[in-house]
Amino acid sequence: MAVQAFQKHEVIPDVLKTAPLKVAKVVYDSGVEVNLGAELTPTQVKNPPTVTWEANPEALYCLVLTDPDAPTRADPKWREWHHWIVANIPGCDVSKGDVFAEYVGAGPPEKTGLHRYVFVVYKQAGKLANPEYGRLKNNSTQHRNEFKTQLFAEKNGLGDPIAGNFFQAQYDDYVPQLYKQFTAKY
């Protein structure tokens, strides 16, 4: 089911070479749950979600949330714009992982249509370091565009994703509020 959804919505090949076989459960405090491409609003996903997957409590995992449709799906010249990266997660306790990039909710610009927001989980072979740019705060857009999930996975020896999920969103009235938090424009 996950494989077909990732292919249907072209997450394969836009973000990943291989679809995850398992679905990560992603639930927001607004009460919505991510469901393989269903449309949600930026207002519903403004706060970091709870993300869980089938995990070995003794293993470490990495979670990436990315938007491959920046600035638009028709013209993705900034593909990808990553919204969240947490590594060294013990089991599926994201709160105990190392945050490489703090969570930024969905913020598709006005009149850019639907954007895909893709959650990808990798099982790590060992602890990851973040030498490239340190911890990105949620008020920073630096180093977020032109991210490549597949390249990140290859550079860090992560292999194929073990779980994933995604939703779609388009501009709503919350987006201008989100943009105000940034100290650097994108």
Q: Is 37 left (phi over 0), alpha (psi -120 to 50) or beta?
A: left
Phi/psi of residue 52, nearest 5 degrees: -135, 155
Domain 2-183 carries which CATH code? 3.90.280.10
Q: Residue 89 corresponds to which tokens in the numbers above?
A: 């997660």
Q: Is the pTM of this model over 0.85?
A: yes
Calpha distance 81→59 (Å, rounded): 27
Averaged pLDDT, groups of 10, the chain, 186 residues long: 92 96 97 97 98 97 97 92 96 96 95 97 93 79 90 95 98 93 63
Domains of the chain, by residue range, sit at 2-183
Question: What percent of the chain clears pLDDT 70, i.e. is strictly above it?
Answer: 97
Q: Give pLDDT, residue 183.
A: 66
Can you read off the two tokens belonging to residue 100?
A: 């490489």
CB 150 within 8 A of CB 13: no
Tell me the pLDDT tens digit for each residue of 21-48. Answer: 999 999 999 999 999 999 999 999 999 9
Which two three-digit tokens encode residue 3?
A: 């494989």
SS3 118: strand
3-state SS assignment for residue 175? helix
Asked if 131 and 87 touch (Cβ cutoff 8 Å), the reply is no
